[in-house]
């Protein structure tokens, strides 16, 4: 009876181990959750700011260490009575100056990159149509493959659009880099999708207008400066 109990416990343990091995890759294969573009931009800005502060601290340490080394070397040369001590000291000072200049340039380049990543960029996506079928009409906007905004037109909204009106589907801040913007128009008779790539436009408003004309969806884009207060 005791031997049978031991065998049963071993079988249960082996089954649990096999289940954990099979479940592990299944959990790893789950698709990652979609990230909000605004949150991703804020995270990137915070990371760049941390890198900038760390880099400045490291450069300051390097400068202090270099200064101590030059001072110690100067003392040794002055006390050692070596031939050409002044020439060697001058060479060390010139080398130190060049290194400090290079470090200063790197810090400035890092500051420029950090400030550039914090420049605001705004996108406005609109939709217009010259004709739409009867029934429900909806539009969905994606930015870099992620859902950004959607629009559901009422019968009155469809009537206004066909009469020449334009509906805003999405408006929001984006990172000042190039993006792929797509719009999917769904009607009672089917759906159409169009995509356009917009270039980086820091400190500008990028407008993307999708037009449904003759049963075909097209896209145009332009930029403008935000109004000054």
At 124-183, the pLDDT tens digits run 999 999 888 888 899 999 999 999 999 998 888 888 888 888 999 999 998 888 999 999
Q: Structurally, how many domains does the chain consist of?
A: 2
Q: Are residues 101 and 129 in the same domain?
A: no
Q: List helix spans (H) across 81-212.
A: 85-117, 155-162
Q: Is residue 3 domain-resident?
A: no
Question: Mind listing the pLDDT tens digit for each residue in 47-72?
Answer: 888 887 887 888 888 888 877 877 77
Same domain, 144 and 202: yes
Decide which of 83, 117, 151 is a domain's last residue: 117
Angle between helices 37-80 and 85-117 (to 10 degrees): 170
Write down the residue that tokens 């049978």 correspond to. Answer: 4
pTM of the model: 0.49
Q: Is residue 163 part of a domain?
A: yes
- Domain end position, chosen among 80, 95, 117: 117
Confirm whether 85 is domain-assigned.
yes
Range of the domain at 96: 37-117
Phi, psi of 44 (to 5 degrees): -60, -40
């Amino acid at each position: 009876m005791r031997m049978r109990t031991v065998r049963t416990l071993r079988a249960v343990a082996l089954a649990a181990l096999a289940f954990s091995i099979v479940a592990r890759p299944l959990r790893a294969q789950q698709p990652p959750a979609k990230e909000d573009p605004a949150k991703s931009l804020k995270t990137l800005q915070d990371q760049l700011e941390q890198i900038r502060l760390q880099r400045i601290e490291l450069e300051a340490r390097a400068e202090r260490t270099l200064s101590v080394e030059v001072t110690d070397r100067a003392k040794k040369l002055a006390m050692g009575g070596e031939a050409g001590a002044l020439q060697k000291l001058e060479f060390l000072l010139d080398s130190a100056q060049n290194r400090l200049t290079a470090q200063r340039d790197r810090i400035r380049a890092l500051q420029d990159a950090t400030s550039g990543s914090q420049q605001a960029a705004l996108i406005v996506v609109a939709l217009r149509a010259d004709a739409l079928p009867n029934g429900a009409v909806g539009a969905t906007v994606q930015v870099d493959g992620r859902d950004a905004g959607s629009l559901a037109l009422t019968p009155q909204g469809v009537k206004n659009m066909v009469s020449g009106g334009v509906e805003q589907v999405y408006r929001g801040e984006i990172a000042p880099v190039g993006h792929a913007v797509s719009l999917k128009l769904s009607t009672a008779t089917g759906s159409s999708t169009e995509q356009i790539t917009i270039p980086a436009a820091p400190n500008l408003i990028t407008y993307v207008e999708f037009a449904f004309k003759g049963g075909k969806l097209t896209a145009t884009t332009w930029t403008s400066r935000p109004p000054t207060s």
